[in-house]
A = this chain, B = another copy of it.
Amino acid sequence: MPLDETLITCTTGTRRRTVLTAGLGAAAAGTFAAPARAEGAPALRWRLSSAYAKTLDILFGAPEALSRIVAEATDGRFQIQVLGPGEPVPAEGLLEAVAAGTVEMGHGPATLAMAKDPTFALATAVPFGLNARGAAAWWQAGGAAELFAEVFAKAGLVCLPGGNTGAQMGGWFRREIKGLADLQGLKFRIDGMGGQVLAKFGVQPQTLPGAEIYAALEAKKIDAAEWIGPYDDERLGLQKVAPVYHYPGFWEGGAMLHFWFNAEAWKALPKSYQAILRAAAAQVGAEVQAKYDARNPQALRRLVAGGAQLRPFPQEVMEAALKNANDVYAEIAAKNGDFRRVYEAMRTFRNEEYLWFQVAEYTYDNFMIRARARG
């Protein structure tokens, strides 16, 4: 920051203060005091790489919103340039790139690093894990932020929650899953721990980018595919090639996303910029959830009108998947102390949360769902 610009800043500051005093009326006049300790705001230009394609407008919009808020809160001094996946790093390598300082920031799921350490998956979502509100409560008031801070520090990363998709859908199937037998040999596009759990049934998990799912289903190279929920799924048009829309996506009862920071870059920030980033991430995170919750209902209506057949997964599939998931967790925990510690904390918090949720929240929602037509 050149000296003359510094002077402009200070002058403008004084001028603005006068205007404010005038605007506040008699009650507030005279209450101004110089701050005990004033610090300057350095000019910074950072780069943020998103794990999400720009077509996923709610997800890609999150860092764009963060960038706008941070710029506004710092009078343009802290600029964050938002880049799509592949600019300059592919989504798969995003967390490593942030840790290495290739970019200062990233936005995406912790699951991107789960091949290296499955503990990361617990920060996003695991089969039969927390729902979105439970995940937020665990993170902010249940000890998760502190547990994960230790795990991520080992990888050179700091993070802040940055949105949640809510409970996802189970995906698109050419034929309805009526029982466990229908899962045998099923070629299902699904990533991560959900794939590991389903593989125990004989499902053959497939990895495919979103843009290739439609063609793969049409050419019968795969039998089914899960993606996100109605709003994002609608864009892929899968109801035309695999009309059975199963629910719930029990492997993502509420997928939390995060903003990732290079640990050194984070530590070097002034406290004021850290405070602004924490608050801006919270604002953006709430907006992501709100947008999904506001847009999914209408997308679901359009999908059903367009031929989607809504079907719950059979109870026997859910029950068997829960057992498989618990087996997978026990296997990982036996080899990975961090996973064991964080998973146990999540499980305890989840069970307590549902103990309470089944009382007021769930009874209320249950009544409201049934009363909807009369309200």
Chain A residues at the B interface, C-beta cutoff of 8 Å: 1-2, 5-17, 19-20, 22-28, 31-47, 69, 72-77, 79, 100-104, 128, 131-134, 136-142, 166-169, 229-230, 247-250, 253, 262, 264-265, 267-272, 274-276, 278-280, 282-283, 285-287, 289-291, 293-298, 300-301, 310, 312, 318-319, 322, 326, 347, 349-369, 371-372, 374-375
Contacts and interface: CB of A to CB of B under 8 A. Distances in A.
A284 B352 CA distance: 23
A275 B1 CA distance: 23
Please name the 7 residue pairs, one residue from A and one from B, whose CB atoms are nearest each other, closest first.
A13-B40, A23-B268, A137-B293, A279-B279, A17-B42, A282-B283, A140-B290
13 contacts: A9-B38, A13-B39, A16-B40, A24-B265, A27-B101, A31-B45, A33-B79, A36-B76, A37-B75, A39-B76, A300-B355, A351-B372, A362-B369
Contact of A32 (B44, B319, B326): B44
Given A276-B279, A287-B140, A300-B355, A253 B368 contact: yes
Nearest to A169: B360
A39 B230 CA distance: 43
A249 to B, nearest CB: 7
Contacts of A300: 355-356, 359
A241 to B, nearest CB: 21
This chain: copies in complex: 2
Nearest to A295: B141
A358 to B, nearest CB: 5
A238 to B, nearest CB: 16
Contacts of A301: 355
A196 to B, nearest CB: 17
Given A9-B10, A14-B40, A26-B101, 5 more contacts: A27-B102, A72-B274, A131-B361, A247-B359, A318-B367
A242 B97 CA distance: 59
A347 B362 contact: no
Interface centre among A31, A363, A375 (most CB of B within 10 A): A375
Contacts of A133: 132-133, 166, 289, 293
